[in-house]
Amino acid sequence: MGICLDELRLLVIRPTLKHLKAWSPGMENLLLGTAAQESQLGFHLKQGRRHGLGIYQIQPHTHREIWDEYLIDHPALASKVRGLASQWDFLDHPHEELTTNLRYATAIAWLIYRAAGVNKVQENDVVAMARLWHQHFHHGPAATVRDFQCSYARLVSAADPTDSAPRYTAAAPPLHHREPTSAPVAGAHSHRARQPMA
């Protein structure tokens, strides 16, 4: 298992999409499903000889295309995305941001869908999400639409996104020592004048 679903949703994906003025329940779920399928919600950041990086397994050439072919025509958006990246490291090692910077990687993952014309998706339409992922995000023949649906069912919809109770706790004490418990308490700049990517 990778990153806690609720923490990825509430601390990374949602604030990133809101920063980009692109938040919707459907887009949030599409990105969660993408991370579930691509890396098991961050269990892998680099898989063997595959070229994908980070929780979304974004390939460096795709990353470069987003900047050179899409954001070049959207300078205000480019500035917002650049603001999520490291000030200096990004200039020397831009692709490393995909593995070390969750919010930046999330912005690029969203941009892959946006550049393909995906602006909205129904919140619970997992079949549509799977097709969008397979058409616009997936690289290679190995995985299928069905694989996305299975990953989503296992890692995303298996948990109630409105349940804020912790998903991990200390090991329970032995049965004969266990005491009665109560219910858990819920507690940049424009890239028109960009530096070329490495």
Structure tokens at 88: 């200096």
Q: Residue 58 forms beta bridges with which residues?
A: 53
Domain residues for the domain of 106 are 5-162
Q: Classify residue 150 by burial, with Cβ atoms within 10 Å: 0-12, 13-18, 19+.
A: middle
Structure tokens at 14: 């949602």
Q: pLDDT tens digits for 105-150?
A: 999 999 999 999 999 899 999 999 999 999 999 876 688 999 999 9
Q: pLDDT tens digits for 13-24?
A: 999 999 999 999
Q: What is the mean pLDDT of residues 47-53?
A: 74
d(CA 139, CA 101): 22
Pick the range with the lowest mean pLDDT from 2-16, 44-58, 118-132: 44-58
Instruction: Tell me whether residue 187 is in a domain.
Output: no
Domain count, the chain: 1
More confident residue, 20 or 187: 20
pLDDT at residue 92, as a whole number = 76
pLDDT at residue 197, as a whole number = 59
The 10 Å Cβ neighbour count of residue 187 is: 6
Element (H, E) at 119: none
Instruction: Tell me whether residue 139 is in a domain.
Output: yes
Residue 87: is its pLDDT beyond 50? yes
More confident residue, 127 or 170: 127
List helix spans (H) across 8-155: 14-19, 25-39, 60-65, 75-82, 89-92, 97-100, 102-115, 126-136, 145-155
Q: Which residues of 2-21 are buried (b: 16+ CB within 10 A; e: fewer)?
A: bbbbbebbeebbbebbebbe
Instruction: Tell me whether residue 190 is in a domain.
Output: no
The whole-chain average pLDDT of the chain stands at 83
pLDDT at residue 9, as a whole number = 97
Instruction: Tell me whether residue 117 is in a domain.
Output: yes
Instruction: Tell me whether residue 69 is in a domain.
Output: yes
Instruction: Tell me whether residue 184 is in a domain.
Output: no
Instruction: Tell me whether residue 191 is in a domain.
Output: no
Instruction: Tell me whether residue 175 is in a domain.
Output: no
d(CA 186, CA 172): 19
Cβ within 8 Å of residue 161, ≥6 positions away: 5, 6, 9
d(CA 4, CA 165): 12
Task: Using a cut of 0.85, tell me whether the model's pTM lies above it.
Answer: no
